[in-house]
Chains A and B, each alone.
Chain A
Amino acid sequence: TQLLEQSPQFLSIQEGENLTVYCNSSSVFSSLQWYRQEPGEGPVLLVTVVTGGEVKKLKRLTFQFGDARKDSSLHITAAQPGDTGLYLCAGHNAGNMLTFGGGTRLMVKP
């Protein structure tokens, strides 16, 4: 079974602070996705990274895929209360399944 470990599990910060969330595995993935989930709703895809070393930016969010395609990070600059939610990473290999990490629950206080 391929495992994805996310850290930290919980993060509570003040509005305007920066933060980084990590997603690590001992396995290689062909691609990795990041989702955000709000209470009472299903996860929504934020980004997919495919190439080792790839960096993608989505407004204040920066996603990086590790060179060896075993890890990824999500950096949020100047966090806002609207960024509050559960952030999930999910890795895909050659099969038909996505493997999800346990999630990082972020709370941004005004």
Chain B
Amino acid sequence: NAGVTQTPKFQVLKTGQSMTLQCAQDMNHEYMSWYRQDPGMGLRLIHYSVGAGITDQGEVPNGYNVSRSTTEDFPLRLLSAAPSQTSVYFCASSYSRGSGAQYFGPGTRLLVL
């Protein structure tokens, strides 16, 4: 039982490049979400999904796309990377919407030059 896994662990991009951050969970959780963490700002919600085929925007969705074709996977796509997207990205899953315990992955550290 691996929990929530994220790849890659670290990535460097140039401005304008695109990439996909991978997230997978093996706990059969319906609810998955993506957060970014910046110094002094805690975690901010980017996008979330309440089940396969259903996604919605969080607090800071601009510049990011998501899709949820299976219960297990929830990739986050950066369409055209900008330096403001330099951050640590965490994927989380939960057995229930919002109020349930969030299980976080180890994070992806992204640097956009």
Instruction: Give me the interface of A with B, judged by CB distance under 8 Å.
Output: 1, 4, 6, 9, 30-31, 33, 35, 40-45, 48, 88, 90, 92-93, 95-98, 100-103
Contact = CB atoms under 8 A, between A and B. Distances in A.
Contact of A97 (B48, B90, B101): B48
Interface of B: 4, 31, 35, 40-45, 48, 50, 56, 58-59, 90, 92, 97-99, 101-107
B4 A97 contact: no
Interface centre among A48, A96, A97, A100 (most CB of B within 10 A): A96
Contacts of B59: 1, 97
Name, among B31, B90, B99, the residue most crowded by chain A CB atoms within 10 Å (CB to CB).
B99
Contact of B102 (A1, A30, A45, A93): A45
20 contacts: A1-B59, A4-B42, A6-B42, A30-B99, A33-B102, A35-B102, A40-B107, A48-B99, A90-B102, A93-B98, A96-B48, A96-B50, A96-B98, A97-B45, A97-B59, A100-B42, A102-B40, A102-B41, A103-B40, A103-B42
B98 A48 contact: no
Contact of B42 (A31, A45, A102): A102
A4 B59 CA distance: 14
B42 A42 contact: no
B104 A98 contact: no
A42 B105 contact: yes
- Among A4, A30, A41, the one with the most B-chain Cβ atoms within 10 Å of its Cβ is A41
Contact of B45 (A4, A6, A30, A98): A98
A67 B77 CA distance: 42
